[in-house]
Structure 1
Amino acid sequence: MVRPVSPAGPGLGRPDVLEGPGGPSGPTGPGRRAAKAGKGDPAAIKRAKRRKRINWIVAAFAVVVMMAGAGVVGLTWFYDDVPTYDTSELQATSIVYSDGKTELAKLGEVNRTLVPAEKISPVVKQAVMAAEDKNFLDHEGIDLKGIARAAWNNFTGGDTQGASTITQQYARHAADLSGINYNRKIREAVLARKLEQDFSKDEILGYYLNAIYFGRGAHGVEAAAQMYFRKSVLTQPGQKNALTKEEAAVLAAVIKQPEPDTATGHKGYDPQTNIEAAKERWNYTLGNMVEKGWMTPEERAKSVYPEKTLQKYDPKKCNIGCGIDKPTGNVVNYVRDELEAMGIPAAEWKKGGYRITTTIDSRAQKAAEEAARWASTSSPMHKLPKYYKAALVAINPSNGQVMAYYGGENGTGYDYAGLNDGGNSGGHAAGSTFKIYTLAAALREEIPMDSRWDALKDDDNGRKISNAGRDAGDIKCGHSCTLEQSTISSYNVPFYWIADGIGPDKVVAAARDAGIRTMFDTSKGKPHDLTKTDPKKLAPAEFDNEVAFGQYPITVLDHANGVATLANRGVYNKAHFIRSVEKRDANGKFVKLAGKGEKLDPQTRFVANQIDDINAVLQKIPDNIGKDLKEGRPATGKTGTWELNQERSDNGDAWMVGATPQVAAAVWVGTEGKRRAIEEAGGKKMSGSGTPASIWEMFMDLVHSRLGLPVERFEERKNTGNPDSTYPNGQSPPPPTQGPNNGNPCGNLPDFLCPDRDNGGDNNNNDGNGNGNNNQGPNAGTPTTAPPPENPFPNGGGGG
């Protein structure tokens, strides 16, 4: 049985239907069925007799045709039932941005949006009836002359064409009938009669308008209105952006033949391909509207063909599956995966009728594409060769919502920000950016940020430790580098010995807890799901001490998630792309599906005070490399590079990651296909503080500005850790070198004889954290006993 799209609505102006508060077939009106049921009403009795007579005529035609030898199917077959035609399974599924309305992609089998019959503009209904069946409200669903002509032509061998009413046309759709012959024509008429008996005129017209094809890939009147005029049939006359009678007539005029017919040579009635025939059909439609009283002669005289509002149509442009061929196509891939995990497989959402609201903010996405796409003329990438690739992912630390995702130009190519090949490939060596997780693991073991490490101990029993290409002369703090300075200056050796001391599995566990779900080994390139395998089984077997400074590939998405966890003071929220899942109900309204959509599950993974210490140090890096954000906005940051191979000092991967309390972002830059050496436009080897940091800075400034995010600050440093920790292997700092009398230029003179006694310590003001902090040099807060290196961010494997 054909199901109603919705309760029938306002009356269509049929004179023999009683009007009620809700229209002839509305919720409160007596409707068409009420008119049928009035046993004492002479008019109703007369109509009932007429319907009965028509039924007998149809049956008689059927019998005559079958007796002619053409049919062997009994009359009861024709009268059996109306086949199911559920157009709700032939809609599109919309994927929208976080605002809940701006379309990101459209998926499904056909471009159709079901709309309730009673909500469709009466102007549209009247225009369609005028074009296709001006007597629709007056007949009983069939064209007797057309049926007779079909039967007669069958006997005489003539043309089997016959005019069809709107009800018959819909019956053809409902029965999925094809071919023009007498059997089809008779059955179509019988089904039309059953439809007229079971449903109101408004219901039938609603089914018809939602089912038929209008050309331009548009199935149903709502999709057609959007394709031809960028308007909605749900906007009522008199309201802003409502379809005019002239525009409605254009839609109605194309129904007869929306597209060219190669068999007949007719170009169809789309005005873009056949404007003369389109206008002729349009004039015919308006003429019938005047005849039926749906348009006044005065309105008709003033009517102008709406060429100015008619939209141009590009047949090559995507109408369904839209968004897959754009940078947002990768977002669609994640949405599919999350729907599957929710119990909504592709076979279900492809039927259509769903609206998926994503976490992607259109403003943030635009900022990401402007900053990271090679095609963006404002992007730092645009200065580089086209084979250079960048990836950027931004996450809201407070809830794990992915705000922006750029992993490539489309959803069918390689995703540089995520996994590929079913999760078997992807990721990039994180270099020194991975040290943020080593820090988290170290502070878990109560290793303080001011602990001292030997940055020159680069040999582990004959095993050479890469120190980002630096010689001993480049490391001024030598055997006594604080963990803070080792982080800011991006020395590898101290981090290696942290992993060696606490165990590389502790580093892997910290990375996992922050949000790194997949990490690839470098021996076989095999992915390891850290959420399903105990790190003790992976390290050091697969991930040795070099894990501390980022030898092993991870995805940009996971890295952004990890940075977000630290920005959220150690509270983890899983990165996700779906906020809500809705489906149209019988009334055409979107209703949220219970148990589907976003399920926030914040989990405290680290001690907040320890993470505050890490963030306090990481906040010094953006300014240290000249990438501090506008408005004095505090932000954490960490750069990283990884060598192309061990034989050469060229870099193959470069990163910048960092966050404010509101936005965490990870940026990677490398090359397409086989890894190649990466250089800046001037030929200098690229490091994380170069193009990746420029992309990160541009994006962060844009997204905070466009979203109107206020300036927020991180928590103050807490100086956690055990000062007597046994893990640090560096030498104690030498005592400060001072002059006679403990450095007092006035000796033991009374204060009144030495007025300048207290004015000589401006460069050593204590910031309350045990560090000198003059806020002047690039390494403000670094102990003065260990001067910063001349080049704190040199290039090389695992460096900054």
Structure 2
Amino acid sequence: MGRAEERRARQRGGRRAAPRRRRSSGAAGATGKSGIRRLFTWKKILGTFLGTCLLGIGAFVVLYLMIDIPQGNALAKEQGNVYKYSDGATLARKGLNREVVDLAEVPKPVQKAFVAAENKSFYSDSGVDLKGTARGVLNTLSGKGKQGGSTITQQYVKNYYLTQDQTVSRKLKELVISLKVDRRMSKDEILAGYMNTSFYGRDAYGIQAAAQSYYRVDAADLSLEQGAYLAALLQAPNSYDWSIASPTGKKLVRERWDYVLDNMVEEGWLDAGKRAAMTFPVPEDPKAAPGMEGQNGYIVEEANRELARQLVAQGSAADMEEALTKIKRGGWTITVNIDSKKQKLLEKAVEDQLTSKLDPKKRDVDADVQAGAVSVDPKTGRVLAMYGGTDYVEHYTNNATRDDYQPASTFKPMILAAALEEGATTQDGTPITASTVYDGDSKRPVVDNGTRVGFAPENEDDVDYGDITVQTAMNKSVNSVFAQMGVDVGMQKVLDVAGELGMDTEELEAVPAQTLGSMGASPLEMAGAYATLANHGKQVTPTLLKSAEHRATTVDLPDPVGERVISREAADTVTSVLTGVVDDGTARRSVRENPLRNGQQVAGKTGTSDDNKSAWFTGYTPDLVTSVGLFGEDDKPPHAQVPMYKAGGEPRVNGGGFPAQIWAQYTFGAMDKVTRFDLNTTQGAAVRPTPTPTPTPTPSEEPTTRSPSPSASVSESPSRTPSQTPSQTPTPTPTPTPTRTTPTATPPANGGGDNGGGGGLPDNPFDPEEDDQ
């Protein structure tokens, strides 16, 4: 071997280069595998890992040196919120409700309850939870939102020194500052800071404000049971507030309360025997802050919730809980669509037509009547007026947005809208229109393809109407007709159309009983659905917010008016039919004959729920939609739903009574001019009444003071045949012919014109106003 060759061999590790030769494909694969092994050796992997760790440690050291504890007392510098009417006038101002107390003023067991709830290792840890922080960073990077696991120290740092923003940089700052705070402050100082800066709901910041808000005591006088509830509350203050929590929220906070106390037993801070004897301390009902009296509190709270939904939708908050907390920390200027003049008119209408007539000293039931109302511009979706109750300070629940009472017969227009939109037919194939004839007998079994479905609803006062048109059935609110119509259309289709119109129907079961309006709904929800009808089928989402401004947040509000969800002809035909309810049906006396009407065209529907627990009138003109609901609510906890029989001196509170009277005074007082519907419908509706067989009433369990209508308003010479063969033949009893000559109401080409589906018809002296269900 020559010297040159030996030198090259040494450079290759002492091995002489092998002669080149061709390799098989298998050999080539082996070589590739060997190359991967050389690339990913355990030494290289370990080295990369250690190098990454060193870089991370180095970066953290740099962060630790660069980030110092910022100036504290950030919460004290926060501003309150300003709320304005649509014209810019101030509606209300809300400051932060907080009062700092020394930890020595908080009973030791209550202190331990907060530690047991949030951070059992608080007294021994270094102020951070590395695993929880890492999980939070990863979730933020992956877009999964906030994640629990922070220590009390970290939460205090977030509350007092930083913001609630869910960003990686904020979480890293929180980690560094928490380590430094833990070194510089005692555990008692940190715990006191945490308890004094946390948000407890009800606009209460700090343990003292929370103690007063929930239990009407100072923090020093809190029992362990009460302190454990407040500690449990911090996980979700807006969802766990007992006064407004859903059944699920109440269940969860009870479980959280148990968790806190059980942890105290586990840590040796509470005797097991004493724990077993403890009972859940139900908080007091909330009291409104100054400036929130009357309707202000209802409007402010609903504005906050609507804004919170937008913050979640645009990604500024992970969920409603975080969004509401962000809003209530202050610094917002929020303008609502409320028209101050219309707001005053609505409040006065409720006072004149309802509350002035209620006297709990004479009738106990009068204390149980709650009113709620919402008024909407159907062309813009703006909420122009809202009535949430007699006073936010006295009744915390907003009756305008509560959805725990049945809308009853105000749901019937949704069934007709679905029938028209779907081009549905009766069981014998007859298209469903305003003049289609149905069997209107009470307790008539509902049939689907020749089979009874096991549902036979009773009409109001158990009245048998015999063969009647859809128009008359709407006027008289005949349950048996609309139960059958719902099955003819298909209950799932009915719920789908109702959902498109604006009702919350996603979780409803598609059963015939829903045709009676047995679901829950709010005046806000019903106003939106009827506004969509008034807007010729274009979806209207009632919107309270006009604008919301904050120095660190820009809020883009969606257009309240959306796409067309049902055809214009279907929507306009329903409107035309609903004029008959006002002119010849259950709302005659309160609306049609109201002296303030002055020729104004009106469409609407009454509703009275089973056992008289709710009563409604939802109606509209071309420019204004208003839904009024009355709800029977026991004025004593737990505020159960109760009947309203004899309230206000009336035998029964029905939709054509107090609700329609409130509606009429408000609407006719708010009109700038008399308007008429521009309807595009080829169907005749709300036409001149003609004599029909007298219904045969069957005594009901709850008779009213008025007898059923002796005549039913139907189309002249209806061309449709009955959808079902009547189960019994009505006995025809001729009724007197009105002495006044009435013109034949032939609808113009567009179905509108002066009649507008019946808006200008003369009185029918033989058709007194009826109750309705």
Normalized per residue, which structure has more helix?
2
TM-score by length of 2: 0.50
Structure having the higher Rg: 1
TM-score by length of 1: 0.48
